[in-house]
Structure 1
């Protein structure tokens, strides 16, 4: 007998099934259909709600401030948002994930603490050892991440071009992408110093202090380094349409070049929102002005591999200075990724079916394929029972309503067209308006492709 049957509007790779059902056993989807459902130990009817593959957030920072203990609150936030797998960045406190020993420690924490599945980025030090890189690949990391800008000398260093080439050489034939935080350090530091000297330290000064040329310069150099060795060069966040154009030009040459979009670039505008949200909206690269429609066009044209949140839930005390250069960059996004993207997709397409299909493609299928998570990202027999239930209906988002989450959000006050009402991880319901499972059913999601 099946363990669980879920009823609702199934969002499948080939289209929606209005009165559908999913059969789950042993943590996997084993059957699906329309109309009469088979018997199961438990049946839950979600009515007219959308049943989607659980979102896969390809860019989160669980350990940047709390170390491995941050896996628990971060995956709780994921469950609240209908995200069933996070792909966590390697810049943990106090040590970044550069060796198999450190990776194994993080995996042990995942198995103990995670409410959702966790796939992992690894990184390299400024003088990398190819043996460490090979070991991390064998241990199942989903990708590597480096930065052209130093946010911290040990935890988040700038990786020079020589080390980048070493990384691409060590990954030859492994198939793993290398993601880049794409800002030119010399440009940013020179411009920020000029702004500070001139007393230009307000929230509206953040974007021009990190000008588009800083992104374009770093992106172009990295793409050429990857192309020289046939490596997969990936840009983890681009804030301007010209950056995606540059990636597309390289991909058109047959190079392994790709880029992702972050939700905040699609929903916020610096001129419109920085005056009221201020430091809450500080991210790097910055929110720009007047580019949202052009960035959404990138999505419609297939120019982004997937959409992520870049979730980093700093305490508000890290956002309290009146000097924009003295506050931390980053903001929560796991709870709002799925409803925020679906809402904007619905507004632009005017169709529930089209919006749901685009949401599944950008938040589940795309990242599953990119990170080699073969059993995730789709509602199909044989796939893991990682499922998000999205209930339609206008709601004004308020982070304070879910105290298990991040406690604050730049998305507070936005009206969403739907809200995640239930989240299932490996067939276990972890969210239905509250964190309901005493279990922590999340596991380490190894790259399998």
Structure 2
């Protein structure tokens, strides 16, 4: 029996259905069409609004500050922005997800706090244990993540080349990607020390402290290590086109390598935006000057696998220190990612192409990349995860989310579409104003191999 029908401009994987409808039964899409809709217990007509597959954000940091309870505000921010599944990074406070018991605790937190669905990364300590790696795989992590740069000796350590190679070899034959935070430790340390000694500690020096060569050196080393194995190597964020070209070169050699685009690299330019936003715009690798247009070309050429937010909602006091080197790296992006990407894409391609690009890069591609069966498309048999975007020009204000940090680098930006409702597995979890579902509705989504 059809329980729910949603009406609007339906965006499928390949087409836009004007005056379309989506039929939902048992939390899944049962049919999609136009014209006369099936009889249902409930019908919600969104008029000319876009009905897109709910976004799958492939890079979030829910637990890096307050531990697993961070799953509550993070998933609430997700549904505020039309994101129905998050893929959460393993660098939680105070213990990263390196062993099965820690993963069990995080899954329990999802079942207690989450209002949208959640897939999980795993990681390793500086000396990986193959038994722990296998334990995480067996429990359904969708990928592993390591860093060539130490942000914290325990929670976010540097993994050296020997340990990286061990992990790559352990992942052969599993299909799981190994993601890298790609910055060279020594280059960054030297550049930062040099700038500090010269008294150059303003926000405008952030990019110089982590120069492109640090990013490219780490990327190249990682890809070469991966090329000696049959594992899947993935760069979780690249800020310059040269990095994507490097990935393309290795792919041309027949290696399984991919790269990810973060939405902020497509929206901001360090030359114009860093002076006004200062530490609010600090991310690693940095947003660069003069690269935005070239990075859009990277996306349009198909050189990135998908687009993510790299959401990290630090409290404002961690983002407003006088020295950029004392500011926490990362910024909230879950609420803004979908409307920001759609708006920017529409300026380049028009609304229809923007809708298709959004469905592709923010839903279908990440769902397939992480092996999340039933996610990422509006099609029969898939979960009824739907983001409703109203064609409503508005000014973004992060303070409208009472559970958010109250600030955003996106504050004051004009968007051409507004999240008007979010459905997770056929249930409305956001009504355009407030979160309407209780914590614990979200589910842990294991990777399907």
Normalization by structure 1: what TM-score?
0.99
In 1, the alpha carbon distance for the partners of 2:372 and 2:97 equals 20
Q: Is contact 1:77–1:335 with CA below 8 Å preserved after alignment?
A: yes
Match in the other structure for 2:168: 168
Q: Deviations over 1:125-159 (max 9, x none)?
A: 00010011111111100000000000000000000
Q: How does 1:95-174 map to 2 (within 5 A)?
A: 95-174=95-174
Match in the other structure for 1:321: 321
User: Judging changes above 3 Å, is the alpha-carbon distance between structure 1 residues 207 and 358 closer, same or farther for their aligned structure 2 residues?
Assistant: same
In 2, the alpha carbon distance for the partners of 1:106 and 1:117 equals 13
Match in the other structure for 1:62: 62
Match status 1:205 vs 2:167: no
Q: How does 1:377-396 map to 2 (within 5 A)?
A: 377-396=376-395
Q: How does 1:15-414 map to 2 (within 5 A)?
A: 15-349=15-349, 351-414=350-413
In 2, the alpha carbon distance for the partners of 1:376 and 1:389 equals 16
Q: Is contact 1:29–1:382 with CA below 8 Å preserved after alignment?
A: yes
Per the TM alignment, residue 47 of structure 1 is displaced from its structure 2 partner at its CA by: 0.6
Q: Deviations over 1:331-365 (max 9, x none)?
A: 0000000000000110001x221110000110001
In 1, the alpha carbon distance for the partners of 2:13 and 2:271 equals 38
Match in the other structure for 1:430: 429
Match in the other structure for 2:419: 420
Match status 1:9 vs 2:9: yes
Runs of 4+ with >3 A deviation: none
Per the TM alignment, residue 439 of structure 1 is displaced from its structure 2 partner at its CA by: 5.5
Q: Secondary structure at the match of 2:101?
A: helix
In 2, the alpha carbon distance for the partners of 1:287 and 1:293 equals 13
Q: Is contact 2:112–2:439 with CA below 8 Å preserved after alignment?
A: no
Q: Is contact 2:390–2:417 with CA below 8 Å preserved after alignment?
A: yes
Q: Deviations over 1:203-252 (max 9, x none)?
A: 00000111000000000000011110121110000000101010011111
Q: Is contact 1:24–1:427 with CA below 8 Å preserved after alignment?
A: yes
Q: Deviations over 1:91-132 (max 9, x none)?
A: 000100000110011001101110110000000000010011
Which runs of no fewer than 5 residues in structure 2 stay unpaired?
A: none
Q: How many residues align?
A: 448
Q: Secondary structure at the match of 1:250?
A: helix
Q: Secondary structure at the match of 2:363?
A: helix
Q: Secondary structure at the match of 1:205?
A: helix
Per the TM alignment, residue 43 of structure 1 is displaced from its structure 2 partner at its CA by: 0.7
Per the TM alignment, residue 3 of structure 1 is displaced from its structure 2 partner at its CA by: 1.4
Per the TM alignment, residue 38 of structure 1 is displaced from its structure 2 partner at its CA by: 0.9
Q: Is contact 2:331–2:408 with CA below 8 Å preserved after alignment?
A: yes
Per the TM alignment, residue 326 of structure 1 is displaced from its structure 2 partner at its CA by: 0.5
Q: Is contact 1:80–1:405 with CA below 8 Å preserved after alignment?
A: no
Q: Deviations over 1:251-284 (max 9, x none)?
A: 1111011000001110101110111100000000
Q: Is contact 2:393–2:414 with CA below 8 Å preserved after alignment?
A: yes
In 2, the alpha carbon distance for the partners of 1:227 and 1:121 equals 22
Per the TM alignment, residue 162 of structure 1 is displaced from its structure 2 partner at its CA by: 0.7
In 1, the alpha carbon distance for the partners of 2:243 and 2:388 equals 34
Q: Secondary structure at the match of 1:103?
A: helix
Q: Is contact 2:311–2:333 with CA below 8 Å preserved after alignment?
A: yes
Q: Is contact 1:335–1:405 with CA below 8 Å preserved after alignment?
A: no
In 2, the alpha carbon distance for the partners of 1:171 and 1:269 equals 37
Which runs of no fewer than 5 residues in structure 1 stay unpaired?
A: none
Q: Secondary structure at the match of 2:56?
A: strand
In 2, the alpha carbon distance for the partners of 1:285 and 1:56 equals 22
Per the TM alignment, residue 58 of structure 1 is displaced from its structure 2 partner at its CA by: 0.4
Q: Secondary structure at the match of 2:69?
A: helix
Instruction: Choose 430-439 or 367-376, whichever is displaced more.
Output: 430-439
Q: Secondary structure at the match of 2:4?
A: strand
